[in-house]
Amino acid sequence: MTFRNFKMVDYVVYGRGAFNQLNEILAPQRKDDAPMIFFVDHYFENDAAFLARIPLLGKDKVVYIDVTHEPKTTYVDALRDDLKDEFGTISGIIGIGGGSVMDMTKAVSLMMTNPGSSADYQGWDLVKFPGVYKAGIPTISGTGAEVSRTTVLTGPVRKLGMNSDFTPFDQILLDPELCKTVPVNQRFYTAMDCFIHCVESLTGTYLNAFSKAYGEKAQDMCEEIFLHRSDWDEESDEKLMMASYAGGMSIAYSQVGVAHAVSYGLSYVLGTKHGIGNCIVFDKLEEFYPEGVAKFKEMVKLHNIEIPQGITKGLTDADFEKMIDVSLGLVPLWENALGKNWQEQMSRERLRKLYEQF
Amino acid sequence: MTFRNFKMVDYVVYGRGAFNQLNEILAPQRKDDAPMIFFVDHYFENDAAFLARIPLLGKDKVVYIDVTHEPKTTYVDALRDDLKDEFGTISGIIGIGGGSVMDMTKAVSLMMTNPGSSADYQGWDLVKFPGVYKAGIPTISGTGAEVSRTTVLTGPVRKLGMNSDFTPFDQILLDPELCKTVPVNQRFYTAMDCFIHCVESLTGTYLNAFSKAYGEKAQDMCEEIFLHRSDWDEESDEKLMMASYAGGMSIAYSQVGVAHAVSYGLSYVLGTKHGIGNCIVFDKLEEFYPEGVAKFKEMVKLHNIEIPQGITKGLTDADFEKMIDVSLGLVPLWENALGKNWQEQMSRERLRKLYEQF
């Protein structure tokens, strides 16, 4: 098809305190005594007050997701095996956390019903069967993973998602109250994932009016929050959650660009997390995104954020080569950013020089 | 539930020329030899070139929808009976046209599987079974009916939709090219349905950040098109189609207000079509929406649009009483516009004076 027929998330509930409706929302999705599995960001492991709010019934189980590293296909497969061993079948998986937890939830849901390893499905439209019921409840805003049709996974040979019509959530629950304890730096890095999405998408060659409308609104909201004010309140959390949602939707008919392509290489070799990796990279991309980078630098300054420097110092040639391989493999991102003849513009040498700046 | 769990349209395809993908999109939805029924706005009845593009297969049938009047429950029931008599079962209904065709498509789809009359389901969450597959293809932008969970129907006792989680389309196809032949006045009236939605929703008491984000973007796009330029090009059609979509989404957690409440009464008694009815009413609502009405008047002037005057002249007291009854029955609209104590502000006398101005 010329234009992608975009599969939407089935149900969206948005509201401060909407988390209290979770039990009611899950009730019709429970199948006999098959449990609901709650994938919870390990950040909440000692937050007894929050954990007590998870509506556990019968054999339901909380599984803490270690998000120290970006999600790996081996981790997805291991969790799937554990759940199959322990329960046979489950009613569904509810992800509560950031982008990594969203992606782990989508991936394990799909792997409960699709044979083999999740690495077999890294790519476009390789998934064969719908997964088990899956719901996403973000506790930090920016990645857009709550509405995307992918799951970003690091596999044995590539960092690439399971892109398919079966990938989007059946349900998302957007409760800005859940974001109130996010540390300031982390909040900024993750929010900038959204801002950078928008800059890359709005300046890209793939753009159409659908993605433009969502991208402009998401970028406007990021700027309202981070550029036009230095304090933070409930309304900021509410707006940022919508910016994340709109930023995710804007990817439907567009693509990310240079920052994401370069940051994936960094993350593959150094394990740099996605949000902070994007910030490290975007900070040096004036030549590609002059206006966006200028705004970014202003936001960094206004919010006293520290962008790590010198992280590629001392890397070997082999490390750089690997980063360059991973990055240049992301053809649609480069094509969106630089056009059909992107290869003439982005040589291995130029990319190496860029990586050496971080 | 405190916050509505909003059922989304399942699939969205957006793009200039996307109509050419319709055959491919419908293929997996065809059930054996049960036909697809195309509900086509009677406006296209003599447009042979357009009709030839509808991908008819086997027993598929085109049914022209008469949109001279707002959709009636009797019309819905009659079409359902005809389809059942002729085919027994069908694969689905594809609506191609404006808001009335969208609503007829949703309503007849639901009535293929729910017993009785569509009038039995006018209200909230009364529909019991999913309808047959239904797709919406707007050929004019503004109503938001392509994404709403209602169908506005005039029944024996009320003008009210079949609001339910089964009501949203399974698929919408947004192809701005289909709007290129819309007459200028009609385009304006329907676009203003969106603009007025936004003003009512953004100034209303029900608003939250989800609806605000969509409403602001939709209103911005309407203003870009109608307030900041007087010419019209392809980009205008593209933006207006997205404004309609965003305006429809903004209703998820908000409500329309005074203009819609008053215009429903007008439409019930005089049969005034929704788009033009909203314009006739909104034009006199400075006291409720001073900023929005000022912008509206500017747009009317800039685009040389004629807003009919004097349409309630010569009506009987009984007519006015009926309009007032219908309007005051729309409690959530008044409550959204004027707050919990709306009845103290909007007496029958005040409303009568308003109706006499049109």
Q: Average pLDDT in the B134-140 region?
A: 98
Q: Which helix (H) or strand (E) holds A358?
A: none
Q: Which of B2, B14, B210 is the closest to A17 by Cβ?
A: B2
Flag whether pLDDT at B16 surpasses 80: yes
Dihedral angle computed from the Cα positions of residues A43, A49, A53 and A57, in that order, rounded to the nearest 10 degrees: 90
Q: Which helix (H) or strand (E) holds A7?
A: strand A6-7
Task: Give the residue among A194, A195, A184 at the shortest CA–CA distance from A296.
Answer: A195
Share of chain B above pLDDT 90, in %: 92
A170-174, A234-238, A271-275, B44-48: least confidently modelled range: A271-275
The Cα B332–Cα B309 span in angstroms is 28
Q: Average pLDDT in the B128-132 region?
A: 98
Q: Which residues of A103-129 are buried (b: 16+ CB within 10 A; e: fewer)?
A: bbbbbbbbbbebeebbbbbbeeeebee
Angle at CA of residue B6, ends A38 and B164, nearest 5°: 125
Chain A contact present for B130, CB below 8 A: no
Greatest alpha-carbon pair distance for chain A in Å reads 60
Flag whether pLDDT at B1 surpasses 80: no
CATH 3.40.50.1970 assigned to domain A11-179? The reply is: yes
Task: Give the residue among A98, A105, A57 at the shortest CA–CA distance from A79.
Answer: A105
For every residue of chain B, which 3-state class applies, written as one string?
Answer: CCCCCEECCCEEEECCCHHHHHHHHHHHHCCCCCCEEEEEEHHHCCCHHHHCCCCCCCCCEEEEECCCCCCEHHHHHHHHHHHHHHHCCCCEEEEEECHHHHHHHHHHHHHCCCCCCHHHHCEECCCCCCCCEEEEEECCCCCCCCCCCCCEEECCCCEEEEECCCCCCCEEEECHHHHCCCCHHHHHHHHHHHHHHHHHHHCCCCCCHHHHHHHHHHHHHHHHHHCCCCCCCHHHHHHHHHHHHHHHHHHHHCCCCHHHHHHHHHHHHHCCCHHHHHHHHHCCCCCCCHHHHHHHHHHHHHCCCCCCCCCCCCCCHHHHHHHHHHHHCCHHHHHHHHCCCHHHHCCHHHHHHHHHCC
Share of chain A above pLDDT 70, in %: 100
For residue B181, what pLDDT is reported?
92
Structure tokens at A182: 């996010």
Sheet holding A152-154, edge to edge: A123-124, A159-163, A152-154
Residues B3, A11: C-beta atoms closer than 8 Å: no
The Cα A117–Cα A214 span in angstroms is 34
Nearest-CA distance from A220 to chain B in Å? Answer: 10
The Cα A11–Cα A25 span in angstroms is 10
A129 against A230, higher pLDDT? A129
Q: Average pLDDT in the A55-61 region?
A: 98
Sheet holding B36-41, edge to edge: A6-7, B11-14, B171-174, B133-138, B92-97, B36-41, B61-65
For residue A158, what pLDDT is reported?
81
Chain B contact present for A238, CB below 8 A: yes
Structure tokens at A146: 């709550």
Angle at CA of residue B231, ends B225 and B237, nearest 5°: 50
Tell which of A6, A8, A24, A29 to mutate to test the B interface (max B CBs under 10 Å).
A8
For residue A230, what pLDDT is reported?
83
Q: Which of B6, B18, B208 is the closest to A3 by Cβ?
A: B18
At position B155, the amino acid (one-letter code) is G
Average pLDDT over chain A, rounded to whole?
A: 96
Task: Give the residue among A68, A77, A137 at the shortest CA–CA distance from A107.
Answer: A77
- pTM confidence score: 0.95
Flag whether pLDDT at A201 surpasses 80: yes
CA distances from B266 to A251, A347, B326 (A): 42, 66, 9
pLDDT digits (tens, 9 = 90+) for A281-331: 999 999 999 999 999 999 999 999 999 999 999 999 999 999 999 999 999
Residue carrying the six token digits 């089964």: B166
Of the pLDDT bands very low, low, confident and very high (cuts 50, 70, 90), residue B172 is: very high
The Cα A157–Cα A154 span in angstroms is 8
Structure tokens at B263: 């215009």
Residues A5, B208: C-beta atoms closer than 8 Å: no
A62 within 8 A of A54, measured Cβ to Cβ:
yes
Flag whether pLDDT at A1 surpasses 80: no
Tell which of A16, A22, A217 to mutate to test the B interface (max B CBs under 10 Å).
A217
Tell which of A24, A164, A166, A210 to mutate to test the B interface (max B CBs under 10 Å).
A210
In chain B, residues with a C-beta closer than 8 Å to the C-beta of A213 are: 217, 221, 239, 242-243, 246
Task: Give the residue among B181, B184, B151, B187 at the shortest CA–CA distance from B166.
Answer: B151
The Cα A153–Cα B40 span in angstroms is 45
Which of the 8 DSSP states describes residue A29? G
Share of chain A above pLDDT 90, in %: 92
User: Residue B217's closest chain A neighbor by CA?
Assistant: A217
For residue B253, what pLDDT is reported?
87
**Torsion-angle region of A102 (φ positive above 0: left; ψ -120 to 50: alpha; else: beta):** alpha
Question: How many C-beta atoms lie closer than 10 Å to residue B85's C-beta?
Answer: 8
Chain A contact present for B295, CB below 8 A: no
User: Residue B11's closest chain A neighbor by CA?
Assistant: A7
Chain B, residues 240-269, CB within 8 A of chain A, namely 241-243, 245-246, 252-253
B165 within 8 A of B149, measured Cβ to Cβ:
yes
The Cα A140–Cα B355 span in angstroms is 49
Q: Which of A3, A21, A208 is the closest to B3 by Cβ?
A: A21
Q: Average pLDDT in the A259-288 region?
A: 95
Chain A contact present for B238, CB below 8 A: yes
Chain A contact present for B11, CB below 8 A: yes
Angle between helices A258-270 and A348-357 (to 10 degrees): 70
ipTM value: 0.94
Chain A contact present for B15, CB below 8 A: yes
Share of chain B above pLDDT 70, in %: 100
Flag whether pLDDT at A4 surpasses 90: yes
Of the pLDDT bands very low, low, confident and very high (cuts 50, 70, 90), residue B325 is: very high
For residue B230, what pLDDT is reported?
83
For residue A170, what pLDDT is reported?
98
Give the number of C-alpha atoms closer than 13 A to the C-alpha of residue B16, restricted to the C-beta side: 12
Q: Which of B3, B11, B174 is the closest to A7 by Cβ?
A: B11
The Cα B250–Cα B265 span in angstroms is 23
A195-199, A354-358, B230-234: least confidently modelled range: B230-234
pLDDT digits (tens, 9 = 90+) for B247-283: 999 988 888 999 999 999 999 899 899 999 999 999 9
Angle at CA of residue A131, ends A246 and B33, nearest 5°: 95
CATH assignment of A184-355, among 2.60.40.1190, 1.20.1090.10, 3.90.1010.10, 4.10.520.10: 1.20.1090.10
The Cα B343–Cα B335 span in angstroms is 9
pLDDT digits (tens, 9 = 90+) for B188-241: 999 999 999 999 999 999 899 999 999 999 999 999 999 998 899 999 999 999
Dihedral angle computed from the Cα positions of residues B313, B319, B324 and B330, in that order, rounded to the nearest 10 degrees: -110
pLDDT digits (tens, 9 = 90+) for B49-102: 999 999 999 999 999 999 998 899 999 999 999 999 999 999 999 999 999 999
Q: Average pLDDT in the A166-175 region?
A: 98
Chain B contact present for A10, CB below 8 A: yes
Residues B5, A14: C-beta atoms closer than 8 Å: no
Give the number of C-alpha atoms closer than 13 A to the C-alpha of residue B240, restricted to the C-beta side: 29
Residues B213, A246: C-beta atoms closer than 8 Å: yes
Q: Which helix (H) or strand (E) holds A95?
A: strand A92-97
Q: Which helix (H) or strand (E) holds A90?
A: none
Structure tokens at A327: 């990055």
The Cα B282–Cα B306 span in angstroms is 14
Of the pLDDT bands very low, low, confident and very high (cuts 50, 70, 90), residue B159 is: confident
Nearest-CA distance from A284 to chain B in Å? Answer: 31
In chain B, residues with a C-beta closer than 8 Å to the C-beta of A141 are: none
Of the pLDDT bands very low, low, confident and very high (cuts 50, 70, 90), residue B43 is: very high
Q: Which of B21, B241, B253 is the closest to A3 by Cβ?
A: B21
Flag whether pLDDT at B299 surpasses 90: yes
Chains A, B: CB contacts under 8 A, how many? 124
Residues B239, A209: C-beta atoms closer than 8 Å: yes
Nearest-CA distance from A208 to chain B in Å? Answer: 8
Q: Which of B2, B13, B209 is the closest to A242 by Cβ?
A: B209
Residue B235: exposed, middle, or buried by beta-carbon count in 10 A (0-12, 13-18, 19+)?
middle
Q: Average pLDDT in the B295-317 region?
A: 96
Q: Which of B5, B209, B245 is the closest to A13 by Cβ?
A: B5
Task: Spell out the alpha helix ranges (H) of chain A.
Answer: 22-26, 48-51, 73-87, 99-111, 184-202, 209-226, 234-250, 258-270, 274-282, 290-302, 317-328, 331-338, 342-345, 348-357
The Cα B337–Cα B354 span in angstroms is 16
Residue ranges per domain, chain A? Answer: 11-179, 184-355
Residues B238, A8: C-beta atoms closer than 8 Å: no
Chain B contact present for A24, CB below 8 A: yes
Nearest-CA distance from A344 to chain B in Å? Answer: 30
User: Residue B19's closest chain A neighbor by CA?
Assistant: A3
